[in-house]
Structure 1
Amino acid sequence: MDIQLKKRRSPISRKTITIIAIAAGVAIAAAIVVLQGGASAMRVERESLLIGDVTRGQFDDYVRILGKVQPLTSIQLSAEEGGIVDRIFVEEGTRVVKGQPIAQLRNSSLDLEILNAEANLAEKQNFLRNTQVTMEQDKLSNRTEKLQLDIDVRQKRRTFEQYKRLLDEDLISKEEYLKAQEDFQLASEKRKLVCERLRQDSIYRSIQISQLESDLQNMRLSLDLIRQRRDKLTVCASADGELGQMSLELGQTIASGQMIGRINVVNGHKMEADIDEHYIDRIATGLTGTMERGKSTYQVMVGKVYPDVRDSKFRIDMQFVGNVPANMRNGQTNYVNLRLGEPSTAIMIPRGSFFTTTGGNWIFVIGKDGKTAHRRSVKIGRQNPSFYEVIEGLQPGERVVIGGYDNFGDCTKLIIE
């Protein structure tokens, strides 16, 4: 007969073992953190680091910018009247003189407008002539009427005077005398009214004729202006210079006021450059700089600072001081070293990509053993194309990591292998 044996329980349960393992892991991690001074560390290869030395020396306060050659004076060439390009007389890059035809446009709507204006003018002229003829006829009729009334008044006066003498001699009745008197008074008053009407008609005719002549003159002026618009279909150069930025094609539709090119007046060149907005408070008119071309160095001076900032950049114009490079062409580019201040002694570090990541607020400083680098707060001042000026946080003789920060994340210590 088999005897069933009872299993003995382990003095330590599985749950207890799990808790002990977790506690041990936490203790080990805490020990590592303590040994590393509480910092998150990252192992990096020395070859992947870009290292620079902290030095004390002469800091040249300048900025290196890319300038573009532009004409000193440039005039926009626009079409004063819209139309379709019918002919092109000159090509881009050609030297032109003021008044020289550049392109010919055609505009059927404008031609129709001129025809309508001419027809309206002719109609107005005919209406004025007809009105003048009618008024002259009315004037003759009125004069005839006035003459008739003058005769009638004289006749009635003679009759009245005769009847008055006859009444004094008792040859006629008083009623006949009064009738003759009333007829004479009626004729006189009627003549006065007709004379007043003729005077008013004369004033009205003068005003009407004057208004018609004024309207006719305005129509002539309007027609002249429309004809001048047709003359403006020929686009001409507005100044002597070189024609540039012209992109016309036969059959192309050009709107009124549309730019069709530029005339670069041949009176010199300037340099135009876009600068990072970081320098906007330090750039002002009068700053000087140098431009190297070939084996020669040329002096430039800031002549204008544009107030607008676009795409984190602002624009300046620089003029040449003294000698001007020969054979310059619009659109050529050259680097210009623009001096922002006088040279001075300062603590410096080489430029690197660290500034983009840290904003110049901190940097990794390599320890004396060369095997670790710790994060340290710094304060960066001025900068030029080669160096950053260090105001606080670093001392000459130290070494810093100036590149490769994209892979460091939030770590505060580097272990260099």
Structure 2
Amino acid sequence: MDRIIEKKKWTAKKIATIAGVAAITGLIGFSYFSISGKSRLNVKNEQIIIGEVKTGAFQEFIPINGVVQPVTTIYLDAVEGGRIEQKFVEDGAIVKAGQPILKLANTDLELDLVNRETAVYDLITNMQNTHNLADQNSIRQLNQMADVDNAFAEAERKYKMNKTLYDQKVVSYQEFKASENEYNYQVRRKKLTIETLKKDTVATNQQLVQMKQSLVRMQSALALMRQKAEDLTVKSPVDGQLTSLDAEIGQSKNKGERLGQIDVLSGFKVRADIDEHYISRVFTGLGGDFQIGNENYKLKVKKVYSQVSNGRFQVDMEFVGSVPKGIRRGQTLQIRLALGDETQALLLPKGGFYQQTGGNWVFKVSADGKTAYKVDVQLGRQNPDYYEVLGGLKTGDKVVTSSYENYGEIQELNIGGESK
């Protein structure tokens, strides 16, 4: 007898079809949510740092390190080279102006000095001999002049007498002409003798003047040579403390080589290195401050060295007001150098987020503190503590300021409880 077979409602084929449709629908929904919805990430409270936006005083400054130095330093260089023969003081000693520090020996310089002294003495002797010879020659010339004057007077007397007698027809023409010729000869002889005497006097005077000028030049050169010999004894140019002395007995030093320095103890300055990025913003008169203990001290830029080396430049700063007691040369100070005046601004605490966002957006925490979502912001100036907020946030807003390095393309943070 025939039996009616009941048709099954959930066949294997039907179940497989429904499962397939559901899977496709779920995949489509998930893809749509991934594309159109916000991606979220759960974070724990202790994994993030939250900072609050506030209004307060803002001053742009940079942290720099400065080294305490004497306000004036005088460098000691070897004016003349030589071998160190004697040390009068040790490094670190307090010295007075003119006090000997080192003595160098230089045999070549000392020998040159002796030779120059000998040359000067020889020239002085030659001048004395020349002067004596000139005196003797002058005496001979004067004696000769006396003889010429006497002969001239006798010839003139005879000539005048014979002329009178010849006019009176007492003497012959021959005798008159002889006296006339003798007289004319003595006139010419006297004239030549006077001229010779003048020229000899002028020549002798010129010779003496030239020798005196040579003597003056040689004495000046000798004085310079003696000064060079005296420079072999290195002396302190000012009162102060001898530091960085690099000299040992028997050691040879070249001309111009650095021997040490004298620190004038009348005061201190601070020399600081600054990144070249700020070279256009640093100028004389800028202020800075630092702390020692619980005390705050002020400085200001006195001199800017424009030369850049290894990406940094230097400034000298002077103390404004009181100077810390017991401060020492070489001490390092951590200084805050102000780049502008203090103003009121909206402030956001600094944090690691800036490296990922460049200050263009942040995760702002919701009012209930359970989520944080992206918002665009505008940040301006900064100092080691705060960013200046120009837009996108207001006083009282809270922002995740820790690093966003692991967040990728996350749009929203779900802030959870403490980790267990």
TM-score by length of 2: 0.75
- 2:269 and 2:292 map into 1 onto residues whose CA distance is 14
1:299 aligns with 2:297: yes
Q: Which residue of 2 is the match for residue 399 of structure 1?
A: 400
Counterpart residue type for residue 259 of structure 2: I
Compared with structure 1, are the counterparts of its residues 36 and 109 closer, same or farther at alpha carbon in structure 2 (3 Å cutoff)?
farther
Query: How far did residue 332 of structure 1 move?
Result: 1.0
**Quick one: distance in 2 between partners of 1:208 and 1:337?**
75
Q: Report the residue type matching 1:237 in the other structure.
A: S
Match of 2:83 in 1: 84
Return the alpha-carbon distance in structure 1 between the equivalents of residues 193 and 176 of structure 2: 26
Tell me the equivalent position of 2:64: 65
Matched residues in 2 for 1:281 and 1:96: separation?
Answer: 41
Structure 1 residues 175 and 332: CA distance shift in structure 2, 3 A = same
Secondary structure at 2:227 match in 1: helix
Residues 1:342 and 2:342 are matched in the alignment: yes
Q: Please give the residue correspondences for 1:222-237 in structure 2 after superposition, counting only pairs within 5 Å.
A: 222-237=221-236
- Decide whether aligned partners of structure 1 residues 351 and 123 sit closer, same or farther in structure 2, where only a CA change above 3 A counts: farther
Distance in 2 of aligned mates of 1:147 and 1:91 = 77
The 3 A distance-change label for structure 1 pair 297 and 372 is: closer
> Counterparts of 1:52 and 1:177 in 2: how far apart (Å)?
143
Give the direction of change, closer, same or farther, for the CA distance of 1:394–1:36 in structure 2 (3 Å limit): farther
SS in 2 for 1:323: coil
In the alignment, what sits opposite 1:27?
none
Inter-partner Cα distance in structure 1 for 2:390 and 2:33: 32
- Residue 398 of structure 2 aligns to a residue in which SS? coil
Q: Classify the secondary structure of the residue corresponding to 1:382.
A: strand
Distance 1:307 1:320, change over 3 A: closer
Counterpart position of 1:97: 96
Distance 1:416 1:345 in 2: 28
Given that 2:347 and 2:386 are in contact with CA atoms closer than 8 Å, whether structure 1 keeps it comes out as: no
Pairwise CA RMSD: 3.9
**Which residue identity lines up with residue 303 of structure 2 in the other structure?**
V
Contact 2:302 2:315 in 1 (8 A): yes
- Tell me if the contact between 2:345 and 2:389 (Cα under 8 Å) persists in the aligned partners: no
Match of 2:15 in 1: none
1:308 aligned partner:
306
Equivalent residue number for residue 14 of structure 2: none
Distance, in Å, in 2 between the alignment partners of 1:315 and 1:370 is: 49
Amino acid at match of 2:56: Q
Question: Match of 1:265, SS?
Answer: strand
SS at match of 1:155: helix
For residues 126-153 of structure 1, give each alpha carbon's deviation from its aligned partner in whole angstroms, at most 9, with x where no partner exists: 2212212221222122122212212221
**Aligned position for 1:21:** none
Which position in structure 2 is the counterpart of 1:192?
191
- Identical aligned pairs, as a percentage? 30
Deviations 1:234-273 (A, max 9, x none): 1111222211122223333334444322211222223222
CA distance in 2, matches of 1:97, 1:266: 12
1:24-35 correspondence to structure 2 within 5 Å: none
User: For residues 402 and 307 of structure 2, what CA distance do their matches in structure 1 show?
Assistant: 33
Counterpart check, 1:130 vs 2:119: no
Partner of 1:244: 243
Are 1:298 and 1:320, in contact at CA under 8 Å, matched by a contact in 2? no
Unaligned stretches of 5+ residues in structure 2: 1-30, 414-420
Per-residue CA shift, 1:145-189, capped at 9, x if unaligned? 212212221232233234324423434442442332122112112
Letter of the 2:299 partner, please give it: M
